[in-house]
Chain A
Amino acid sequence: MIREFHDLVIIGGGPAGLAAAAAAKEAGCRDILLIERDRVLGGILNQCIHDGFGLHAFKEALSGPEYADRFIQKVRALEIPVMERTIVLELSPDKVLRTSREGEIKEIEAKAVVLAMGCRERTRGALSIPGHRPAGVYTAGTVQNLVNLENIMPGKRVVILGSGDIGLIMARRLTLEGAKVEAVFEVLPYSSGLQRNIQQCLDDYNIPLFLSTTVTDIYGPSGSLEGVTVAQVDESRRPIAGTERYIPCDTLLLSVGLIPENELTREAGIEMNGVTQGANVDDCCMTATPGVFACGNVLHVHDLVDFVSMEAARAGKNAALYAAGKLERAQRAIAVTAGDGVRYVVPQRITRGEDISLAFRVTAPARDKTIEVRCGERVIMTRKETRLHPAEMVWVELGTINLDEISSLEVSVR
């Protein structure tokens, strides 16, 4: 067995891995290997040909490939070695990776590892939609890939289930390419996508969005999709009898959620979080397994790539310090928890206390609320918000905090 050694190995060459690699190099790490399973760097950004990326990071509206390219150029300029078309088969708790690419399976031992594998889409099977299983039922991201990268149209008459951002983007994209998008249906009483995408992808093209409605049957007895039945749902998301209607279509796109892709993380026995479905991390983005860091959508699903890059830079920098033996051992860990109205908070613990930013999502849409960060009864910070939405991540900057004065942190919305 071939075995290589590196100071830092980054798994995944999407936006998270790229930003982590650049930050690690800038923090002084000289032996970095960036592993990407696709033919090219950039990850999912390569198929996101719409614009709107980089508004925070670069104050410009870039397309996905343009945004990725900024980081790819940086990684090239920093001369960071990249291994493309390579997949990591296994990761052990002591940071030995087993990688595979054409003609070669090998082991790599690393002093530090950054997990940046991104996420995958929830599927029809996970939703248990009844009916036939014909051709024409796809996840939105798969169709985005086929349309934008492979020049393939799935169909001409489209229904979209789920108002996740990729579904909204694809509603516009398929309309622009001549398909008739009948409607978007969302089982929740509110949209799961960004408000700007509802406006720019649905409203501007007169594509209706029906809330509290879901697909209850898929019809395609001869092997290709002929139509779907939709119905309104009650508060417990069960279809309401009598509200069914049949919509002929040849394509059903599912945009019903993203799941961090943590197979390697779980196999390595790294402590996971049941809500985010990512690892638990501290304010250095380090998991409970020393020397293994996580960032981007593998840690928790983000709404904007700008924030992925920001989080990944933190992970990359700290991984570089760890590999160099310069990241001091944590003396204590302060738990960060989700309080009223908050679904989760990342990081889940604070061990250093420098330059703290907390990312969280609310449980339900709300207006005119106050975000509160408390330590027990003591209020650390408050901020007023006119509008909060589960689709949009909220960031709270706490700056540097003295861990001697704080025993726990709870984020709530009141």
Chain B
Amino acid sequence: MKHKFNVVIIGGGVIGCAIARELSRFQIKTAVLEKEPDVGMETSCRNSGVLHSGINYKAGTLRAKLAVRGNAMMDEICAELKVKIKRIGKLTTALSLDEMGGIDRLMKQGAANSVPGLELLDRTAMQQIQPGVEGIAAIWSPSSAIISPYGLTIALAENAHANGVGFFLKCEAASVAKNAEGLFEVRSSDGEIFEAEVLINAAGLGSGKISAMAGVPAGNNGESLKIWPCRGEYYVLDRRLEGTLKTLIYPVPGAKDAGLGIHLTPTVDGNILIGPSADYIPEESPEDYKVTAPVLEDLRREGQKLLSDIKMSDFIRNFAGCRPKRTSPSEGGNGDFIIEEANSLSGFINLVGIESPGLTSAPAIAEMVRDLVSNHLPLDEKKDFIAERPGFAGHFCELPKEEQERLVKEYPEYGEIICRCEKITKKEIRDAIENPLGARSLVSIKYRARNGMGRCQGGFCTPRIVRMLRDEYGFAPEDYLLREAGSSLFSGNVREGEND
């Protein structure tokens, strides 16, 4: 089947979804093609969930400019889209005198990047922000914040969807070509054809491949568009430790480091993350999200060094994500984002190497891409653009008690708890199951409702949700997916014809 759009975006990560939402303000038809059964399933859901201030990026780079701009845009976006954000600030700490050079360099860089509110703190001032923190001095960057990265991605996508963007899930681009009329034709692996005037490559880990597929092997300045996947592993700690970290604490990064170093990050939902590690993995399998024994051991040790109160029972889960880096293991460090319309292919907008601070930069990248799109399409604003997403930010159990009691009368299912650890209600599970994108895997429900993210890791809620999907949504055993297309949960019924 042939689908006609003005703009097609390949990739439903936070970047693709932010662009989709930005373009949905205008009277054009936009589609997002995502190879997974939901948006935000790769890099966008597998990171620290930190909005960076912008001090870490070389002045004049896109990373510096877009991080500072994107960070500043987030409060309004989160308010509109009902996404939890906490401006907890960050201390970049110097442990000894020889790290003061690094502090000085970052302060200057931050000033050059117009990062708001930077202060150089001495030991006493550091202690006031985070009692017990190590170090002799620190940079305080108050605009640093935490956010749910998948929560933001889903919110952007659902709002874009409400404003008419077409989301095609489980839709992997197999070929890209321009047809006789000069329109792009993207063919999916199951034979669908998407036609568009403008094609946007926001494929993250797959962006190098998509660019090559489109016949654009290099950037406009001859840069390599090869993606070097660099895996980061994390631990998730129990909410028992909620509140022990008042702010983000990072070491001064070395210039050659692939990431910002192993650190502790509180999440908006009250967990703490330890990580990420940084290990380059073979480029043929950029989505190999396994965790490894030596790295886990490292993370446990580093974590316990940073926070001595961590007990073995606090490690409730681990996961891994992957940075789509432009720099090879031998180069180290980071390359700048590539965000440009290819000189050699009119209407093909390439976004390559959007690693950290991609999450922070997403809304600013979306504006930049919008301006590139406007060279090809008239962007007239819609009169009926819906800026707000319905509902409330966060979870029912976080609402004030009076508000809970009022809502439970209006929606009785707010009274029924499905996930005991995180106190997630049946109404929230139902809203997640009935999400507008039609994503129905257990992880899709979990990323929306937060069930199964507590200390029992779904032991309690999984059978309840399985039952709900069967009884109320007609699921057969083969319909249950954990996450991706191949992740079938069950082999069948125990006995046929015995469901009652």
Residues of A within 8 A of B (CB): 1, 37, 85, 87, 89, 100-105, 120-121, 123-126, 128, 130-136, 139, 141-142, 145-147, 149-156, 177, 216, 221-224, 250, 259, 263
B491 touches A145 (CB 8 A): no
Beta-carbon nearest neighbor of A223 in chain B: B487
How distant is the Cα of A147 from the Cα of B408 in the complex, in angstroms? Answer: 33
Considering the complex, which residues of chain B in the window 281-340 have a beta carbon less than 8 Å from any beta carbon of chain A?
285, 288-293, 296, 300, 312-313, 315-319
B491 touches A121 (CB 8 A): no
Contact pick for B291, options A131, A134, A153, CB 8 Å: A131
How distant is the Cα of A102 from the Cα of B499 in the complex, in angstroms? Answer: 25
Contact pick for A1, options B405, B425, B467, CB 8 Å: B405
Decide if B488 is an interface residue (CB 8 Å cutoff). yes
A135 touches B481 (CB 8 A): yes
Contact pick for B413, options A102, A134, A136, A223, CB 8 Å: A102
The 3 closest A-B pairs by CB, nearest first: A223-B487, A103-B412, A135-B482
B459 touches A121 (CB 8 A): yes
Besides A87-B417, A149-B463, 10 new A-B residue pairs in contact (Cβ under 8 A), listed by A number? A37-B417, A103-B409, A123-B317, A123-B459, A125-B316, A128-B300, A151-B498, A152-B493, A221-B290, A222-B484
Closest chain B CB from A83 CB (angstroms): 12
How distant is the Cα of A37 from the Cα of B288 in the complex, in angstroms? Answer: 39
Interface CB pairs A-B, < 8 A, 5: A37-B417, A85-B416, A105-B404, A132-B289, A152-B477
Beta-carbon nearest neighbor of B299 in chain A: A128
Residues of chain B at interface, number, CB under 8 A: 62
B415 touches A101 (CB 8 A): yes
Residues of A within 8 A of B499 (CB): 151
Beta-carbon nearest neighbor of B442 in chain A: A135
Contact pick for B415, options A103, A135, A146, CB 8 Å: A103
How distant is the Cα of A152 from the Cα of B465 in the complex, in angstroms? Answer: 13
Decide if B82 is an interface residue (CB 8 Å cutoff). no
How distant is the Cα of A216 from the Cα of B477 in the complex, in angstroms? Answer: 29
B481 touches A150 (CB 8 A): no
A125 touches B236 (CB 8 A): yes
A223 touches B485 (CB 8 A): yes
Closest chain A CB from B446 CB (angstroms): 12
Closest chain A CB from B457 CB (angstroms): 4
How distant is the Cα of A78 from the Cα of B404 in the complex, in angstroms? Answer: 35
Beta-carbon nearest neighbor of B484 in chain A: A223
User: Chain B interface secondary structure, helix, strand, loop or mixed?
Assistant: mixed
How distant is the Cα of A147 from the Cα of B458 in the complex, in angstroms? Answer: 16
A105 touches B490 (CB 8 A): no
Given contacts A153-B491, A223-B485, contact A216 B316 (CB under 8 A): no
Residues of A within 8 A of B288 (CB): 132, 221
B315 touches A104 (CB 8 A): no
Residues of B within 8 A of A (CB): 236, 285, 288-293, 296, 300, 312-313, 315-319, 397, 401, 404-405, 408-409, 412-413, 415-417, 420-421, 423, 425-426, 455-460, 462-463, 466-467, 470, 477, 481-495, 498-499
A152 touches B494 (CB 8 A): yes
Closest chain A CB from B403 CB (angstroms): 11
Contact pick for A130, options B293, B457, B490, CB 8 Å: B293
Residues of B within 8 A of A224 (CB): 482, 486-488
Closest chain A CB from B252 CB (angstroms): 29
Residues of A within 8 A of B463 (CB): 142, 145-146, 149-150
Most chain B beta-carbon contacts within 10 A, residue among A135, A153, A221: A135
Closest chain A CB from B19 CB (angstroms): 27
Beta-carbon nearest neighbor of A38 in chain B: B464
Residues of B within 8 A of A155 (CB): 490-491
Given contacts A102-B416, A125-B236, A135-B482, contact A154 B491 (CB under 8 A): yes
Most chain A beta-carbon contacts within 10 A, residue among B420, B466, B491: B491
Given contacts A121-B456, A152-B477, A223-B485, contact A130 B296 (CB under 8 A): yes
How distant is the Cα of A135 from the Cα of B421 in the complex, in angstroms? Answer: 21
Closest chain B CB from A308 CB (angstroms): 20
Given contacts A104-B415, A121-B459, A130-B293, contact A221 B285 (CB under 8 A): yes
B408 touches A105 (CB 8 A): yes
A222 touches B486 (CB 8 A): yes
Contact pick for A102, options B415, B459, B488, CB 8 Å: B415
A153 touches B416 (CB 8 A): no
Contact pick for A153, options B423, B483, B492, CB 8 Å: B492
B420 touches A87 (CB 8 A): yes
B491 touches A250 (CB 8 A): yes
A139 touches B315 (CB 8 A): no
Residues of A within 8 A of B486 (CB): 222-224
How distant is the Cα of A410 from the Cα of B254 in the complex, in angstroms? Answer: 56
How distant is the Cα of A372 from the Cα of B213 in the complex, in angstroms? Answer: 77
Closest chain B CB from A4 CB (angstroms): 15
A124 touches B490 (CB 8 A): no
Residues of B within 8 A of A145 (CB): 463
Given contacts A37-B417, A128-B318, A150-B463, contact A135 B483 (CB under 8 A): yes
How distant is the Cα of A370 from the Cα of B483 in the complex, in angstroms? Answer: 54
Closest chain A CB from B205 CB (angstroms): 14
Closest chain A CB from B127 CB (angstroms): 28
B487 touches A134 (CB 8 A): yes
How distant is the Cα of A146 from the Cα of B404 in the complex, in angstroms? Answer: 32
Residues of B within 8 A of A100 (CB): 408, 415-417, 425
How distant is the Cα of A139 from the Cα of B499 in the complex, in angstroms? Answer: 23
Residues of B within 8 A of A125 (CB): 236, 315-318, 457
Given contacts A105-B405, A130-B292, A135-B483, contact A153 B456 (CB under 8 A): no
Residues of B within 8 A of A130 (CB): 290-293, 296
Residues of B within 8 A of A123 (CB): 316-317, 455-457, 459
Beta-carbon nearest neighbor of A124 in chain B: B457
B493 touches A120 (CB 8 A): no
Residues of A within 8 A of B312 (CB): 126
Beta-carbon nearest neighbor of A146 in chain B: B463
Beta-carbon nearest neighbor of A222 in chain B: B486
Given contacts A102-B412, A128-B315, A223-B487, contact A153 B493 (CB under 8 A): yes
Residues of A within 8 A of B404 (CB): 105
Residues of A within 8 A of B413 (CB): 102
How distant is the Cα of A131 from the Cα of B318 in the complex, in angstroms? Answer: 10
Residues of B within 8 A of A221 (CB): 285, 288, 290
A151 touches B316 (CB 8 A): no
Closest chain B CB from A146 CB (angstroms): 6
Residues of A within 8 A of B296 (CB): 128, 130
Closest chain B CB from A162 CB (angstroms): 14
Residues of A within 8 A of B417 (CB): 37, 87, 89, 100
B459 touches A141 (CB 8 A): yes
Most chain A beta-carbon contacts within 10 A, residue among B318, B409, B413, B494: B494
How distant is the Cα of A84 from the Cα of B236 in the complex, in angstroms? Answer: 33
A154 touches B489 (CB 8 A): yes
How distant is the Cα of A102 from the Cα of B318 in the complex, in angstroms? Answer: 34
Most chain B beta-carbon contacts within 10 A, residue among A125, A153, A263: A125
Residues of B within 8 A of A149 (CB): 463
Closest chain B CB from A30 CB (angstroms): 28
Closest chain B CB from A99 CB (angstroms): 9
Contact pick for A105, options B317, B415, B470, B489, CB 8 Å: B415
How distant is the Cα of A126 from the Cα of B300 in the complex, in angstroms? Answer: 12
How distant is the Cα of A38 from the Cα of B368 in the complex, in angstroms? Answer: 52
How distant is the Cα of A12 from the Cα of B174 in the complex, in angstroms? Answer: 54
Beta-carbon nearest neighbor of A155 in chain B: B491
How distant is the Cα of A156 from the Cα of B491 in the complex, in angstroms? Answer: 7
Closest chain A CB from B29 CB (angstroms): 32
B460 touches A120 (CB 8 A): yes
How distant is the Cα of A85 from the Cα of B300 in the complex, in angstroms? Answer: 39
Closest chain B CB from A244 CB (angstroms): 12
Most chain A beta-carbon contacts within 10 A, residue among B285, B459, B498: B459
Closest chain B CB from A140 CB (angstroms): 10
